[in-house]
Amino acid sequence: MTTPILTSRQAEELHKAIIAYLSSNNLPSAAEALRQELELGDTFDATTSKKYEGLLEKKWTSVVRLQKKIMDLESRNATLQSEIDNATPTSLSRRNQDPTSWLPRSPPRHTLQSHREPITCVAFHPVFSSLASGSEDYTIKIWDWELGELERTIKGHTKAVLDVDFGGPRGGTLLASCSSDLTIKLWDPSDEYKNIRTLPGHDHSVSAVRFIPSGAAGAPSSSNLLVSASRDKTLRIWDVSTGYCVKTLRGHADWVRDVCPSVDGRYLLSTGNDQTARLWDVSLSNPESKLTLVGHEHVVECCTLAPGSAYKHLAPLAGLKKPPLASSSAEFMATGSRDKSIRLWDARGNCIKTLVGHDNWVRALLFHPGGKYLLSVSDDKTLRCWDLSQEGKCVKTLSDVHGHFISCLRWAPGIVREPVANGNGESNGASKNGSSKAAATPEVQIRCVIATGSVDLAVRIFAN
């Protein structure tokens, strides 16, 4: 005989509750039959029945509610447990050694303050520990992000500075800036940031500016070309050595907000107020819009192209059996919008995933150089980290990164380690893998440093 789960008192309570439930639900014969079976007799009168009425339903619903609560607590517990697991000395040292899994955490290493109006943009120097920030106060400020100190203030624009970027010819890094004053300016960091050129041509505010990598062997990030996006609905490509506009791209129906070149310089991704993103093939003599990405329900504020390291995580979302070659560019893209969502797209223009979580406009996006994560910032004052290997699940949220809307986010460029040739004229390491070509590719070491800028007038540096 099995041991009863309920005590005799609990069983009696349950029986009475069942009879009361049957009676109140107009099932008198069933209630009577049960009463006979249990030999309750007259001890269970109308008053007792009233007392037990609704008890069964109440217990039932509270069990369901408690079950849900337990599930919530269990999932929170699992999250906390995984954080604890990841915080053991061994895992911490392992994570610190493995930059591909590094994510920013509070508090920031530095908070840089000197601008008098909201900050609109930030950019890292490719080699030195310099960071440029642009602001609605018409100035650009150059900081040492390692020391957290202001180095200089650059004046020249006559309206808000909307974007900045470092790049340019090999060995001749320049800083480009663009503004609501309709111009793009080039500054020379090696000559006290002297203004060496001003590029006029846009008919309205210039919202974004980026150097286009040449993709050339030996110096893939060198570039004589610059792309700008404007409220005049166009994108323009400029030759920085001459100052001439070499191409104008038309296709957007409204203000173009952001632009992102591919690492090989062949494609440009642009977004804007017409709620679309467009992918352009600029290797053609007459560049054309190859794809139009439609799906957002409000202004698309920002865009970025996925690095080859992210393809293996994004391919399953696109239903691909095997990922595209890492050397192939513009295979996957991400866009962020005022509709509070982030969308991931494949090279055919299909939206393969929508990431929902921000409570306000999404203002900037970047892929982690390791390829496993996408980072985003928003007007909800948070920085979110989405794990692409878990179908884009939000695995980390830094709340109140700033005291106001966050306008920009950049990751410090990796340190390029040039291959060293040995005495035989062969690259070191050629014998190790039997291929001198593999050894000749410069190795890029990820730098675990990001910068954010905000309407709260501060730039914050998060670093390992």
Cis peptide before 419 (omega within 30 of 0): no
Locate 453 and state its tokens: 């800028």
- What is the Cα–Cα distance from 458 to 464, expressed in whole angstroms? 20
Q: Is the pLDDT of residue 413 over 70?
A: yes
CATH code for the domain defined by 110-415+446-463: 2.130.10.10
The values of phi and psi at residue 27, to 5°, are: -125, 60
Helix then strand count (H, E) for the chain reads: 8, 30
pLDDT of residue 191: 93
Distance (Å, rounded) from C-alpha 103 to C-alpha 110?
Answer: 16
pLDDT single digits (tens) 125-181 = 998 999 999 999 999 999 999 999 999 999 999 999 999 999 988 778 999 999 999
Give 210-234 pLDDT, tens digit per residue.
999 987 656 666 778 999 999 998 9
Higher pLDDT, 9 or 93: 9
Q: Give start-end residues of each CATH 2.130.10.10 domain in the chain.
A: 110-415+446-463
Tell me the per-residue pLDDT of 74-131, one tens digit each, with 9 for 90 and over.
888 887 877 776 666 665 555 556 888 899 998 999 999 999 999 999 999 998 999 9
Burial of 289 (0-12, 13-18, 19+ CB in 10 A): middle
Class of domain 8-86: mainly alpha
In the chain, ranges of CATH 1.20.960.30 domains: 8-86
Query: 168: closest CA among 60, 270, 240, 227?
Result: 240
